[in-house]
Amino acid sequence: MKKIQIGKTDLRVRSLGLGTNKIGGYNLFPNLDDETGKKVVQTAIDHDVEMIDTAYMYGLGHSEELIGEVLQHNDRDKVVLASKAAQQVAEDGTVTLNNTPEFLTKSVDEALKRLQTDYLDIFYIHFPDQETPKAEAVGALQRLREAGKLRAIGVSNFSLAQVKEANADGYVDLVENQYNLLQPDATNELVPYLNEKNISFVPYEPFAAALLTGRYSLENLPHFEEGDHRLKIELYEPDQLKKNVAKVDQLKPIAARYDATVAQLVLAWYLKNPKIGPVIPGARTPEQLLSNVKAYDVQLSDADYEAVAKIFA
């Protein structure tokens, strides 16, 4: 299996990873089960899913803790472990963004403790703050890399201008921003710059918060429980939802030709897309993880790749 090089580093990963906001992310999703979450991580490792992507904000460190428990029973070198931080949470629950070198250094050290490891393969600044010079923030991560605590440096949810500022010294290896067939803006201006600078692009929300899984139809529109972060997503607003579901419905006959699910077809489309790097779909259960991995078996033709692109153009 061909692997993707991460930026200019010596890190190489298989193209399908695991996003873990549904593993311990009790502040994002209702009714999560910790034991099931740990089983998802173990299933990923057992099936050669190398990149495991987490963040402090997934359960305020709880996702990291669960992954750390699983790592104790596995070969750490088999995992490309990524985490993120930028959110400073006060005792009253107020969240402020902080990119200062002091806060990022502290955040990395705390993540290492929760994950029970002495190094992170990748660390991202999760969101930009408004005050800290971005090159200064990344410079702090570079010092941590030189100290052996990180192998690659990333930024997440940064605009093109902010990425350029962050990369002033050439230290940025990855950008993790929102991208999927329904939200393709990142490939217009950001990705060309990243490709030029040999910076890997890691798209998050590849299923557009479940819209691109094919589980919904015009007769079966989604309904979420209170506390589910998807209630706040623009794609689910009433004036957009039916149009988005109608587009996804057009994928069903294409997926059927490959004896695949719509979700597997969508992942296969990303894997064939030369503009993007590793894809990190989430999974709530081991079964969902195993279904995602089957996307490797969908060898999408050029004609069907273009047909999918046309639906979402």
Cβ atoms within 10 Å of 297's Cβ, excluding its own: 11
pLDDT at 236: 85
pLDDT digits (tens, 9 = 90+) for 35-93: 999 999 999 999 999 999 999 999 999 999 999 999 999 999 999 999 999 999 999 99
pLDDT digits (tens, 9 = 90+) for 223-233: 777 777 667 78
Average pLDDT, integer, range 106-111 = 98
With cut-offs at 50, 70 and 90, classify the pLDDT of residue 274: very high
With cut-offs at 50, 70 and 90, classify the pLDDT of residue 141: very high
Percent share of the chain, pLDDT over 70: 99
User: In this model, does residue 23 exceed pLDDT 80?
Assistant: yes
Residues 6+ apart with CB under 8 A from 194: 163, 175, 200, 201
What SS3 state is found at 116? coil
Closest to 244 (Cα-Cα) out of 181, 152, 176, 184: 181
pLDDT digits (tens, 9 = 90+) for 213-272: 999 988 888 777 777 766 778 898 878 889 999 999 999 999 999 999 999 999 999 999
Lowest mean pLDDT among 191-205, 218-232, 239-253, 279-293: 218-232
DSSP-derived secondary structure letter, 19: E
Alpha carbon dihedral 219, 254, 17, 31, in 10-degree steps, equals: 10
Average pLDDT, integer, range 148-172 = 98
Range 4-211+274-301: architecture per CATH: Alpha-Beta Barrel (3.20)
Encoded tokens for 187: 């490939």
Residues with a catalytic annotation lie at 58
Specify whether the CB–CB gap between 63 and 24 falls below 8 A: yes
Report the alpha-carbon angle 3-289-55, nearest 5: 75
Alpha carbon distance 166, 161 (integer Å)? 9
